[in-house]
Structure 1
């Protein structure tokens, strides 16, 4: 009986120990799982890195309370941005930043980030130099300043898909405008992964964004430790090649049309407004010959998504009363000279692709006609170029080609999935879509059908 009682007692003790252990381990496990899935680990590691006295995690962001000195935001799907204030020191030779955080509970912390607005694109980020950021609790632990600056600095990478005009504007130039505008030109631009030709190509705009010399972190002669009262690492991204007014703190007071005006000024473009047609200037869709004709530019691509019947398009547009220009853009061409051509025009026509990025040089109230090739690309085309055009104050016409207008119709049988079911091809991933529709397709416009799009552009020039 005693042995039986002892056995029951031991069993009870063991059960009690298991229950107690479970009560301890289960909450810990749940908390760990919650943290892992609710907040990125990279964000957690920074909780006490920037102004630990006032920072909190909110919706995956690190924010500062009551005029806190620093803020890091890693919640965006496109861009990580750290805005550091106080004693910030940059070692240019190894792309490292040290911020001094003087507070009793401050700790020595460090993290790495790639300052380019394509954070989830591993192919783009492979061409982006990583920046090391360190938070230290005392100035004596930081490298000594060899140069002190009163102005702020912005650290960013051109990297990514530099040289593709769409990506130059979407990933770098428009985000740089959004990020630097608050400084009214009094800001240092510290750039990495920028080829000299790229800096030369966009130097007129870069000079408008900053009155100070650009610091090329890869090739510059500046050494030592440069100290700033305010440093932004990374660029604020809103949306494809545009400014989202709703995303600007306090309303901001600027938009994509303001960026376009700044761009026209930086390249010395003189036309601010497109031609305004009157109702009397049109006769069954054609502009009277005695009146000044609206000028139409056809962006001609060489490699893929080309117009195979440019001559027929030119004749159709001319019959409607347009003065037609055919232009090509090259990677290292004189952007300023081509910008002048674009600015002289009232309508821009092109197949979906980087060449349409030249719409940024058009005068206000001009019209963009985007030809969308086969492949279920309509929504992407509207997001990439349609929305930016409208945000700039331009008219927009989207022409979605029919199957018969694609050269793919002569390459595949009509029941092939490439022609019959583009959605299925898209489900195979970006590379499959790119191979089928962006690289392997040209366009032969049905000019009788396309005439309606050109007539619509004329109507927009009258309103």
Structure 2
């Protein structure tokens, strides 16, 4: 029996070796076939698809950032950022109206991948409103490819204005500031190819987009150019937008050291705003000039319930006070509100999208951010405090007391919403949003808040 088992075992081993060798030969033959036989570009996305771009790295073709100014390879991608993926394609690049890019270059390897060109790549809710782009890259320029409808010599940037469009903060931090970072090196001679852009969004920001590019914006969702849908051909395409930090620019990562102050200056120029610098107070010899203060009054959540009392207190301290709320969507409304903001020296508002209008303030003005209950200080400082300073503004951070929150009237004093915001935050973003961002208004203690108003006045001296 032992000899029979050993014989069977040897036979099994021999059969296994034969089968293994056969598999190896089959794989080599298959590889040779793909290597020596042309594959139509239309099938590349099926043969070489690798899923989302965040999972792809190509060794020497991975880049860290563009600040070095050197970009020699035909395909250069950076997927290391937690907020955005960026790929650069050089050679014969054809942008199809069905969200497909076909790339030919003698040195390119044959591959394909998919990307959502929006600077909020790990936010599934935002990306649900972003069109995915498929890229097929190959070294062989003689494969069948769509014929060019229009040939361009300037480069192009492909991006999405989807996500949370219509929220001024997200319009800036997810799209416009990253677009500024990405396009600055081209000096205006670059085509902007945008998807998921509503007509009102393009109208609203057209003055700024015109400053970023000499050329008409191409709305990829409504055809390529005035002639309708077509294939646009470029020698260089950037897919995706470079992101540095919330609503700001890291000057150390840019060629030439441009900054958020440069973006703010561009925003003021775009909307024809008159004031570049805020008032400078020098004591009693100011000739009766009063600094102008804009109090952003929200009508829904995180609203001031005593805006009138705040305005009277500010007036008593020597401010000329304007109370207003930014209007959404309409281009004329944004231009009008930008002029109002630019006419002011101090901007006061509860943490929220309205504070994003700080980009229209004259340099040296003061932003006073009122931070509601909920342990939101770090987020508030990141979203608006740092961008304000980066834009050449002064910043005052006012964290409200429990008694200044309308939540104090909704919950008993020992409720965890009031007592332990950190515990609520541990329940996740949805719990935090519901408790503190949606369900809370602010009734400022005017006497306590006078300290912040006096500090803002001091910063204008």
Task: Confirm or deny a common fold (TM above 0.5).
Answer: yes
Structure 1 residue 269 corresponds to structure 2 residue 266: no
Tell me: CA distance 1:392–1:129, structure 2 relative to 1, closer, same or farther (3 Å): same
Tell me: CA distance 1:294–1:210, structure 2 relative to 1, closer, same or farther (3 Å): same
Offset at residue 136 of structure 1 (A): 2.1
Matching residue of 2:344: 345
Which of these residues, 131, 134, 152, is aligned with residue 133 of structure 2?
131
Matching residue of 1:243: 249
Distance 1:344 1:224 in 2: 45
Would the aligned equivalents of 2:278 and 2:362 in 1 still touch at CA under 8 Å? yes
Would the aligned equivalents of 1:151 and 1:229 in 2 still touch at CA under 8 Å? yes
Matching residue of 1:30: none
Would the aligned equivalents of 2:90 and 2:105 in 1 still touch at CA under 8 Å? no
Matching residue of 1:26: none
Matching residue of 2:438: 439
Greater Cα shift, 411-420 or 71-80 = 71-80
Would the aligned equivalents of 2:115 and 2:133 in 1 still touch at CA under 8 Å? yes
Would the aligned equivalents of 2:63 and 2:77 in 1 still touch at CA under 8 Å? no
Would the aligned equivalents of 2:371 and 2:398 in 1 still touch at CA under 8 Å? yes
Distance 2:315 2:54 in 1: 62
Which of these residues, 324, 328, 331, is aligned with residue 327 of structure 1?
324
Distance 1:97 1:106 in 2: 15
Which of these residues, 166, 170, 191, is aligned with residue 169 of structure 2?
166
Tell me: CA distance 1:433–1:87, structure 2 relative to 1, closer, same or farther (3 Å): same
Tell me: CA distance 1:44–1:167, structure 2 relative to 1, closer, same or farther (3 Å): closer
Would the aligned equivalents of 2:180 and 2:263 in 1 still touch at CA under 8 Å? yes
Greater Cα shift, 393-402 or 324-333 = 324-333
Offset at residue 162 of structure 1 (A): 0.1
Would the aligned equivalents of 2:54 and 2:85 in 1 still touch at CA under 8 Å? no
The structure 1 segments of at least 4 consecutive aligned residues displaced by more than 6 Å after TM superposition are 6-14, 58-61, 63-66
Q: Provide the secondary structure at the position in 2 that maps to 1:55.
A: helix
Would the aligned equivalents of 1:64 and 1:71 in 2 still touch at CA under 8 Å? no
Greater Cα shift, 334-343 or 133-142 = 133-142
Map 1:289-300 to 2 at 5 A.
291-300=288-297
Which of these residues, 195, 204, 208, is aligned with residue 198 of structure 2?
195
Q: Provide the secondary structure at the position in 2 that maps to 1:111.
A: strand
Map 1:63-462 to 2 at 5 A.
67-92=72-97, 94-103=98-107, 106-107=109-110, 109-141=111-143, 142-220=145-223, 221=226, 222-248=228-254, 250=255, 252-280=256-284, 291-333=288-330, 334-462=333-461
Offset at residue 235 of structure 1 (A): 0.5
TM-score of the pair, normalised by structure 1:
0.85
Tell me: CA distance 1:46–1:98, structure 2 relative to 1, closer, same or farther (3 Å): farther
Tell me: CA distance 1:375–1:138, structure 2 relative to 1, closer, same or farther (3 Å): same
Structure 1 unaligned segments of length 5 or more: list them.
21-39, 49-53, 282-287
Offset at residue 69 of structure 1 (A): 2.3
Offset at residue 95 of structure 1 (A): 1.3
Q: Provide the secondary structure at the position in 1 that maps to 2:440.
A: coil
Distance 2:370 2:310 in 1: 12
Structure 2 unaligned segments of length 5 or more: list them.
18-49
Computed over aligned residues only, the root mean square deviation of the Cα atoms, in angstroms, reads: 2.8
Distance 1:310 1:112 in 2: 49
Per-residue displacement from partner, 1:109-150 (whole Å, max 9, x unpaired)? 221110100110000000001111101231222322232100
Q: Provide the secondary structure at the position in 2 that maps to 1:139.
A: coil
Offset at residue 218 of structure 1 (A): 1.0
Offset at residue 13 of structure 1 (A): 8.3
Offset at residue 219 of structure 1 (A): 1.5
Distance 2:457 2:160 in 1: 41
TM-score of the pair, normalised by structure 2:
0.85
Tell me: CA distance 1:59–1:122, structure 2 relative to 1, closer, same or farther (3 Å): same
Would the aligned equivalents of 1:43 and 1:60 in 2 still touch at CA under 8 Å? no
Greater Cα shift, 443-452 or 142-151 = 142-151
Distance 2:175 2:377 in 1: 24
Distance 1:64 1:390 in 2: 27
Tell me: CA distance 1:47–1:347, structure 2 relative to 1, closer, same or farther (3 Å): closer
Per-residue displacement from partner, 1:360-407 (whole Å, max 9, x unpaired)? 000000000000000000000000000000001100000000000000
Matching residue of 2:30: none
Per-residue displacement from partner, 1:281-324 (whole Å, max 9, x unpaired)? 6xxxxxx8x52000000000011100000111011101110000
Distance 2:301 2:137 in 1: 49
